Structure 1
Amino acid sequence: MSALLWLAAAIVLTVAEMFGGELVLLMLAGGALAAAGVDFVFEPPLWVDGVVFALVSVLLLVAVRPIARRHMLNRPAVLMNTEALEGRPAVVTEQVDATDGRVKIDGDVWSARAMDPSQVLEPGTHVTVVEIDGATAVVWRA
């Protein structure tokens, strides 16, 4: 019967972890799951379940949590939207100067302006996108 209580505690701790995200409650849920398993297989006294819960929880907190947090915090950055366009090559489709123009970036036509106000880029020129300013690509001759 206490195996079901440990299992319920593991479920409650796992659900509570979803709201916190610090991985502490998840490690405690792992300890509760271990205690449920020990209780289900061996049916020891309640204090043994408590010791198993405490040992496994502390082991998970000390050994697993730092590694898991490191992986959570140091995931590779995936550039999205306009950030992904910075540094990409483009081709001028309409003359680009300091105020106006058009470039093709990965098959999409963008309004563009030259990063250097003195540059005038003719159609067919290969350029690099330096930044996206609103809906305008700021480009530099490659």
Structure 2
Amino acid sequence: MLIFLVIEMLTLDLTFLMLSIGGLAGLGSDLLGAPLWLQVILAAAVAAVLLLALRPPLLKRLHRSSDSSPSNVDALLGLEGRVLATVSTFAGQVKLANGDIWTARSDGRGEIEPGTPVRVARIDGATAYVRPRPEELPE
């Protein structure tokens, strides 16, 4: 049981905790004078019931508060900004809404003049590929 608890502290997956509680049930039946075969069956049954019935909802509740907001490059996709230096398919510079200044390239829609509002289409390394915001596209 103690080994299972130590492994559980390292993995935090609740599997070994359930096995440890099953072992505790077997120990309890031993203290009550049950034969060895009954102790083993009881320990296995308690561990199986806990693994199948209690572990899934506990894991769901444990991971419910996980932050699912995008981070790193994923957080930049769709971010708006303004062109600082003319953006072409070869070079340019933009300042994004988060305050970062990025080397930028047009995503194939020609040159974008300074001051034009843009949106990040994709990131490739340290280069943001941008396009004019839809409301700013010429008709």
Does the pair score TM above 0.5?
yes
Structure 1 residues 119 and 31: alpha-carbon distance in aligned structure 2, compared to 1, 3 A threshold: same
Of the three residues 48, 64, 86, the one matched with 2:54 is 64
Q: Could you tell me the TM-score, scaled by structure 2's length?
A: 0.70
1:97/1:84 CA distance change after superposition, 3 Å: same
Give the letter for the 1:56 counterpart: V
- Unmatched runs of 5 consecutive residues or more in structure 2: 134-139
Judging changes above 3 Å, is the alpha-carbon distance between structure 1 residues 72 and 113 closer, same or farther for their aligned structure 2 residues?
farther
The corresponding residue for 2:73 is 82
% identity of equivalent residues? 34
> Which letter does structure 1 place at the counterpart of 2:54?
V
Q: Which one has a larger percent helix, Structure 1 or Structure 2?
A: 1
Return the offset for 1:93. 1.2
Give the match for residue 114 of structure 1: 106
The residue that corresponds to 1:3 in the other structure is: none
Shift of 1:17: 4.0
RMSD, aligned CA: 3.3
* Shift in alpha-carbon separation, 1:34–1:92, aligned structure 2, 3 A: farther
Q: Does 1:44 align with 2:32?
A: yes
Q: Which amino acid aligns with 1:99?
A: F
User: Against the structure 1 CA distance between its residues 78 and 33, is the aligned structure 2 distance closer, same or farther, given a 3 Å change threshold?
Assistant: farther
Supply the distance in 2 between the matched residues of 1:126 and 1:33 (Cα, whole angstroms). 64
Q: Deviations over 1:26-59 (max 9, x none)?
A: 32023235566x58xxx52355765653343122
Query: The residue matched to 1:45 in structure 2 has which SS?
Result: coil
Aligned to 2:78, what secondary structure does the other structure show?
A: coil
| Alignment partners' CA distance in 2, 1:87 and 1:45 | 67
- The count of residues paired between Structure 1 and Structure 2 equals 128
User: 1:134 and 2:125 equivalent?
Assistant: yes
TM-score, scaled relative to structure 1: 0.69
By how many angstroms is 1:77 displaced?
A: 4.3
Q: Residues 7-36 of structure 1, C-alpha deviation per residue, up to 9 Å, x if partnerless?
A: xx1x31132346667653232023235566
- From 79, 95, 103, the counterpart of 1:104: 95
